[in-house]
Amino acid sequence: MKSGNDRSMHGFSRNGRRLSVIVCFILFFQGCSALRGHPDFPPEDRPAEASLFFTAMDAAVEREAVGDAAAFRLSGFPYLRTDRFLAAMAARIETDDQRETWLNAMRQLDIVGRQKEIRNLPDHAVNDLADRFGVIGREGLIDLTAVRGDRLLKTDSSVSGFVAAVADAVRCNSEYSNFLRVAGLYPIAALPVTALTHKAQREFRGWHRTPPEALPVRGVLTDYVPPSFFAEETGDILFDRDALGRIILAPEQTTQLVERFAPVLRQDVADDADRPGRMVWQGDRVSVDIENPTAYVYLTHAFYRDVPAIQINYVFWYRARTGPDAPLIERGRLDGMTVRVSLAPDGRAFMATVMNNCGCYQQSFPHPDFVSGVAPQPLEIDAFAPADLPGDIPPLRLSLRVNSGWHQVQRVVSGPTPDEGIVYSIRPYSDLESLPRESGGAESIFTPDGIVKGSGRIEPYILFSMGIPDVGAMRQRGHHATRLVGREHFDDPQVFNRNFIFREEETAP
């Protein structure tokens, strides 16, 4: 497959000409947009006790700094939250079924988000709220949140223009700061960053063109494998879709799908910082228990052409980024890697994507039966696709060769599940957003801004002009900015349509 990146690598001069045009514009306005109000909302007949409850709840969550940033709040609608996919659907709603499904999806995001926030509130805050509203403990608050949120939804939905007002309120925060880019003279600073990005891409592409046995090894190659499950023993998973076109899965189907596409990590282990593990609290610090390797999994949707495609996200964590291969400014406590497998409408994997959990070094591996090339991106660096996705996944396993210290994927192959591998467990990503503490209670490993606590780097002092606050720190789902030059979010539902050229007709299996 001919990659658009090959064209982009022909010289720094072309990118220099591209970026010089930015001087005329400076700011990029991309992502979700929103209006912060609507003449008819909030309606005057909203139940006062329900509104008071959400006001008090939000005040406590903000005061205790336990806000969950996995989904985005809607101004004026305290019982709804959105993500980038649902935000993109706002302009596509046409039927009553779609409207109901869309609203219910945002309602569910708020219910889940508030459950995590209530579980993470300290005891004194829970007791104050429970006494004030006449319920018992956390579960009482969770139940009351659902009841009063449903009541607000019922009241609001009876008002003319309700759906239009919700659509106006949809807002997904950008992970890019226009202020930082202007203050940091982004058009000028982007030039050396572009050159360094292309240099790193040349190094990465060289890895993928090197036979696996010829790649350097600093420690011992160790296979981390998913639980005992053999994809070749399972039949087809039949997908149903809701009114928005999203894949609907029963719990057992979700388990089957997640295990079917779970990757093998062939990790170069030089020290304990190279062993993926389970996130735990050790006192007031987030740490990684390397005795319990774990993949944290969540599902998302993006558009494959015009059809929602389901994506399985596997998130691995390490104690640190360290070692001689990792650039000095990137070294620090905690590191991680996300592996995302995206499925075409026929259930085959058409793309694998990997990134570090800071959002950096994103690599895409498209299936050549589906994708013919990379689409050029004016004023930005093209998507980086250094190799193809093997075509036999499943029944074979996706296997990723990961280097020591820096934790970058150097090679993508397929093969049977290794017999001698270390088995990792699979846990829901939501575990990270309400993680039990040794002393009792629970706390998210993320700040209300979606940053992993204690994972900061010195990069913001050097790369602040790229416009990403806390650049280099590990981030929560929904908050991964993946381009230093240009703008892109890992969970952007149009990421494939914008960055890749699909074949007119996919090759049949």
Q: Under a CB-based contact definition with an 8 Å cutoff, are residues 146 and 112 in contact?
A: no
% of the chain beyond a pLDDT of 90: 85
Q: Tell me which residue of 120, 144, 111, 132 sits closest to 63, measured CA to CA.
A: 120
Q: Which helix (H) or strand (E) holds 60?
A: helix 48-64
225, burial (CB in 10 Å: exposed 0-12, middle 13-18, buried 19+): buried
Nearest to 105 by CA among 123, 121, 120, 83: 83
Could you tell me the pLDDT band of residue 239, with boundaries at 50, 70 and 90? confident
To the nearest 10°, report the CA torsion of 328, 329, 335, 339: -100
Contacts of 469 (CB under 8 A, 6+ apart): 175, 177, 180, 449, 460
Q: What mean pLDDT is predicted for residues 276-298?
A: 97
Band (pLDDT 50/70/90 cuts) for residue 28 is very low
pLDDT at 9 over 60: no
Per DSSP, helices labelled H in 245-317 are: 251-261
Q: Can you give the pLDDT at residue 20?
A: 40
Average pLDDT over residues 478-500: 97
From 68, 90, 87, select the one nearest 492 (Cα to Cα): 87
> Rounded distance, CA 493 to CA 303, Å?
6
> b/e per residue, 112-138, with b = 16+ CB within 10 A?
bbbbbbbbbbeeebbeebbeebebeeb
Spatial distance between the Cα atoms of 173 and 478, rounded to a whole number of angstroms: 9
pLDDT (0 to 100) of residue 235:
52
Both structure tokens of 466: 């790229």
pLDDT score, position 204: 98
Amino acid at 323: G
Give CA angle at 202 (398, 318), nearest 5°. 50
Q: In the structure, what pLDDT confidence band is assigned to residue 36 with cuts at 50, 70 and 90?
A: very low
Look at residue 38 in the predicted model and tell me its pLDDT: 57
Are 357 and 336 contacting, i.e. CB atoms less than 8 angstroms apart? yes
Which pLDDT band holds residue 504 (cuts at 50, 70, 90)?
confident
400-417: average pLDDT? 97
Sign of the torsion angle spanned by Cα atoms 204, 210, 211, 217: negative
Relative orientation angle of helices 162-169 and 96-120, to the nearest 10 degrees? 50
> Residue 353 above 70 pLDDT?
yes
Q: Confidence class of residue 103 from pLDDT cuts 50, 70 and 90?
A: very high
Q: Is residue 230 scored above 70 in pLDDT?
A: no
Residue identified by tokens 């990465």 is 204
For residues 465-472, give the mean pLDDT.
97
60-100: pLDDT as tens digits: 999 999 999 999 999 999 999 999 999 999 999 999 999 99
Radius of gyration of the chain (CA): 23
Tell whether the torsion through CA atoms of 491, 493, 494 and 500 is positive or negative.
positive
pLDDT band of residue 3 (cuts 50, 70, 90) is: very low
Residues 6+ apart with CB under 8 A from 186: 22, 26, 465, 466, 467
Q: How far apart are CA 108 and CA 79, in angstroms?
A: 9
Looking at the DSSP bridge assignments, the partners of residue 303 are: 308
Helices (H), 74-209: 84-89, 96-120, 123-133, 137-157, 162-169, 178-183, 186-208
pLDDT digits (tens, 9 = 90+) for 304-339: 999 999 999 999 999 999 999 999 999 999 999 999
What is the rounded average pLDDT for all residues in the chain?
A: 90
pLDDT tens by residue, 37-62? 455 667 778 999 999 999 999 999 99
| Average pLDDT of the segment spanning 343-363 | 96
User: What pLDDT shows up at residue 399?
Assistant: 97
pLDDT band for position 508 (cuts 50, 70, 90): very low
At 419-464, the pLDDT tens digits run: 999 999 999 999 999 999 988 999 999 999 999 999 999 999 999 9
∠ CA 337-358-478, rounded to 5°: 95
* Distance, CA of 433 to CA of 116 (rounded, Å): 7
Tens digit of each residue's pLDDT (9 = 90 or more) over 128-164: 999 999 999 999 999 999 999 999 999 999 998 999 9
